[in-house]
A = this chain, B = another copy of it.
Amino acid sequence: MTQRLHYSNDVNTTLNFLIEGGNYNAVIVLVDTNTRRLVLPQLSCLDNASVIEIPCGDENKTLTSLTHVWQELQQCGATRHSLLINLGGGMVTDLGGLAAATFKRGIPFINVPTTLLAAVDAAVGGKTGINYGGLKNEIGVYAPARHVIVSTCFFSSLPLQEVKSGFAEMLKHAMLSSQEDFARLLNFSFDSIDQDKLLELLRSSVKVKERFVNDDPTEQGLRKALNLGHTVGHAFESMAIERHQPVPHGYAVAWGLVVETVLSHMLLEFPSSQLYSLASFVKDNYGAYHFTCDNYPHLLDLMRHDKKSLAGEINCTLLKACGKPVVDNNISSDNLTAALDIYRDLMGM
């Protein structure tokens, strides 16, 4: 990882400093419809940058958007000495990172995540990707941004749903870190959000991710711990897309966390009291994702197609306790079925 993280709520100054220091022959900024309108005007250091715009939303994290970015980079005359700045949520940083990593076999890029979800997850750690063939992040590479600017100053314009979505990844990091971190987050209130306090929570949350990523940048072993909640969460997310009722990624992760914590309790004796605390926090703040037993076979099938899975098996990270992850658990269909039953009970379905 050659990626450098900068925590700052004065993004314009920080970004300007990084641009000046980089000696680039061109600066290009990638935005989506929302960040062009709401965020780009706040960054005067980008007044002279070329702008590439893509439509917002995960449903546009596609090959079509990617080829649009490639074409525009060509149009701008971008070279390996040009800089791409990805200004947006995880969709923009994932897709823009992939565009930069593959254009002329790689040009430098800086991520400026504008959502909590992107700041705590997508923009940090070098994973890039697009959805393909109905599967999330099916096409992508590991390619670290040169810099990532982590801030909370753009979150005030976000819907609460977006903040909650990012918070689910922070919950995951806390569970991977310690019981104390986990308890601290369960006490967080979404009613009146203190941006500076949130930046501090975010800083320690990102540090958890950094620790796992630095130990294992291409996900051969320990980094898989970061997939906690995601094998099941991705299946929920994929099913929601198929139903044409997409759900925010973090919501899917929150629900996935509950199911995988149920599995952790069943298989590794994760304490039941903490499982109940998690389930109740998730239910109160995220509601429940609804499905019936009839959906089980398809959900299991989606999990088997997860990148983390070997052919035909379902692979999850589980927890013995907070701070004690165990990677590469192969989950039987029976156990997963039981866990989905318990999830539906806990969520009052």
Chain A residues in the interface with B (C-beta under 8 A): 25-26, 63, 67, 70-71, 74, 77, 79-82, 98, 101-106, 127-129, 132-133, 135, 137-143, 218-219, 305, 307, 309-311
> Is the beta-carbon distance between A101 and B141 smaller than 8 angstroms?
yes
Known: A74-B135, A102-B139, A105-B128. 4 other contacts (CB 8 A): A70-B139, A77-B311, A98-B102, A102-B102
The complex places the Cα of A23 from the Cα of B49 at a distance, in Å, of 49
> Is the beta-carbon distance between A307 and B142 smaller than 8 angstroms?
no
Q: How far is the CB of A311 from chain B (nearest CB, A)?
A: 5
Interface centre among A101, A139, A309 (most CB of B within 10 A): A139
The complex places the Cα of A67 from the Cα of B138 at a distance, in Å, of 12
Inter-chain contacts of A77 with B (CB < 8 A) = 305, 311
> Is the beta-carbon distance between B74 and A106 smaller than 8 angstroms?
no
The complex places the Cα of A141 from the Cα of B63 at a distance, in Å, of 16
Inter-chain contacts of A103 with B (CB < 8 A) = 138-139
Inter-chain contacts of A218 with B (CB < 8 A) = 106
The complex places the Cα of A218 from the Cα of B63 at a distance, in Å, of 25
> Is the beta-carbon distance between B79 and A307 smaller than 8 angstroms?
yes
Q: How far is the CB of A149 from chain B (nearest CB, A)?
A: 24
CB nearest neighbor in B for A132: B70
> Is the beta-carbon distance between B138 and A74 smaller than 8 angstroms?
yes
The complex places the Cα of A74 from the Cα of B306 at a distance, in Å, of 11
Q: How far is the CB of A307 from chain B (nearest CB, A)?
A: 4
CB nearest neighbor in B for A135: B74
Pick the contact of A307 from B105, B133, B137 — CB < 8 Å? Answer: B105
Q: How far is the CB of A346 from chain B (nearest CB, A)?
A: 31
> Is the beta-carbon distance between A105 and B137 smaller than 8 angstroms?
yes
Pick the contact of A105 from B133, B135, B142 — CB < 8 Å? Answer: B142
The complex places the Cα of A35 from the Cα of B139 at a distance, in Å, of 26
Q: How far is the CB of A55 from chain B (nearest CB, A)?
A: 20
Q: How far is the CB of A319 from chain B (nearest CB, A)?
A: 23
Inter-chain contacts of A26 with B (CB < 8 A) = 311
The complex places the Cα of A309 from the Cα of B77 at a distance, in Å, of 11
> Is the beta-carbon distance between A127 and B141 smaller than 8 angstroms?
no
Inter-chain contacts of A25 with B (CB < 8 A) = 310-311
7 nearest CB pairs, A to B: A104-B307, A105-B140, A25-B311, A74-B133, A102-B139, A81-B310, A77-B311
